[in-house]
Amino acid sequence: MTEPDDLIQVFAGSLGYGEKSSLGSYVRAVLPLSGNGTAEARWSLTQVEEMYYLLLTRKISSGYVGAWINAEKVLSPLQLVNMDGKGTYLLAGLDGLLTDDHVVQAKGLDLSRGFAEYYLSGREDAYLVVGADSTVGDFSLVALIPDESVLADMPYIKRVLLWIVFMALLTLPAGLIWLNRFILNPLNRIVEFMKGIGAEGLPQTRLANDVATSEFQLIVSTFNRMLDRIEKLKIDVYEEKLSKQKAELKHLQLQVKPHFFLNALNIIHSLAQLGDCAKIQEMIQYLTNYFRYVFRTNTDLVTLGEELEYVRNYIGIEQLRFPERLDCRIEVESGLLDVPIPPLTIQSFVENSTKYAVSLDRPLLVEIGVRRQDDRPHVAEITIKDNGEGFAAEILDKLRRGEDLSRRGWGIGISNVRRRLELLYGPRAQISFFNQDGAVVVISLDTKGMESGPDAARL
């Protein structure tokens, strides 16, 4: 309305004059015409004479705009739902207004409980009351469903369910047989095969590809190809590791041999300065034995007996250098002379003793003992001990931490022996360093599973 008494009506369809006039009179009566009030913009259920409408009004400037719709048109789509002519749908306002109040009164229905949940009501014939509040207006949609209509289709549903159960029971055994043969059995075979791989490693055999379904045939064939590739890759990696270890061992052995040889040449040079030809001849004999040992031991491992014989030869060389200043004692428990060790292992530690422990104050005594551990007979324990001043505190700490002292120009032989034992024995070889009235080195070798002799396989 633009003025207090002006009313403009626009209709989407045909509407009789009487209904138009009634609606116009109602709008003029209910809206505040002074222009000062406001109307809430929500749909509300309204009765105009004998008709029910949903009305929406909104205040704008000095007038109002609004819309209304016949409640019967709102409910007309719901009338298509079959209720055997006994149930109905209606709209209920907040003030208790009902679009089909005579049905509620005739059946004695009590709708005062609201529509938050469904319930049964009625004097003679029970009705299921189901409703929902509108989110856009102050009204509710209510369905009144006869109780007998709710269960009207139960016999039919019961027959359908019984038929479904019967067919399921009839087809269940065949389904289980099919499931077990084409899915469960092939799947269980794959699972068991994979468990075997986890427990025992890669098997020599492969899964039999005799399953019926193409999907499992693809899985089995792919799985077998994967095992073949893993096995080939494992062999390639293993061979590459062997080749790398062998190359490193050769490098380490070449590092030890010239290291000792240069020391021997220094001894000959010292004897030549003294003019002692007899000792030079004896020294050359010892060097001959040395080269015979070196050329004969171009291998990864030698026996403990061979190594000790070479140590005696080395001690003979050093005794020529330090006459009456050096002595060596060797004790070996019975049955340990065939223990395999890398060549020049013991000699490297004996050489360190003669290099750093010989002094003019007292003669140097080097003791070598080989015995079995009491609690582990398969572990050979080699002890090299001297009566010198022992390891310096800083050097001893670095040796115990496993630092490579060869980078600092000291301990080339020790680092060399440690690395070769690591390559050949792995964690089954350990070296301990400590001081006890001199320097003490203990080499523990777990010989379990190791073949004795220099020609045995090592890696």
Which whole number is the average pLDDT over 410-439?
84
pLDDT over 50 at 457, yes or no: no
3-state secondary structure the chain: CCCCCCCCCCCCCCCCHHHHHHHHHHHHHHCCCCCCCCCCCCEEEEEECCEEEEEEEEEECCEEEEEEEEHHHHHHHHHHCCCCCCCEEEEEECCCCECCHHHHHHHCCCCCCCCCCCEEECCCCCEEEEEEECCCEEEEEEEEEEHHHHCCCHHHHHHHHHHHHHHHHHHHHHHHHHHHHHHHHHHHHHHHHHHHHHHHCCCCCCCCCCCCCHHHHHHHHHHHHHHHHHHHHHHHHHHHHHHHHHHHHHHHHHHHHHHHHHHHHHHHHHHHHHCCHHHHHHHHHHHHHHHHHHHHCCCCCEEHHHHHHHHHHHHHHHHHHCCCCEEEEEEECCCCCCCEECCCHHHHHHHHHHHHCCCCCCCEEEEEEEEECCCCCCEEEEEEEECCCCCCHHHHHHHHHCCCHHHHCCCHHHHHHHHHHHHHHHHHEEEEEEECCCEEEEEEEECCCCCCCCCCCCC
Looking at domain 235-446, which CATH architecture does it have? 2-Layer Sandwich (3.30)
Same fold, 81-150 and 235-446: no
pLDDT over 80 at 15, yes or no: no
pLDDT bracket for residue 435 (50, 70, 90)? very high
Which whole number is the average pLDDT over 407-430?
76
Fold classified for 81-150: Beta-Lactamase (3.30.450)
Q: What is the mean pLDDT of the chain?
A: 78
Tens digits of residue pLDDT in 248-306: 555 555 555 555 667 677 777 877 887 878 878 888 888 888 777 766 545 678 899 99
**pLDDT for residue 305:** 92
pLDDT over 50 at 455, yes or no: no
Tens digits of residue pLDDT in 42-89: 888 888 888 888 888 887 777 778 888 888 888 888 776 666 667 888
- Domain locations in the chain? 17-71, 81-150, 235-446
pLDDT over 70 at 345, yes or no: yes
**pLDDT for residue 251:** 57
Which whole number is the average pLDDT over 195-213?
72
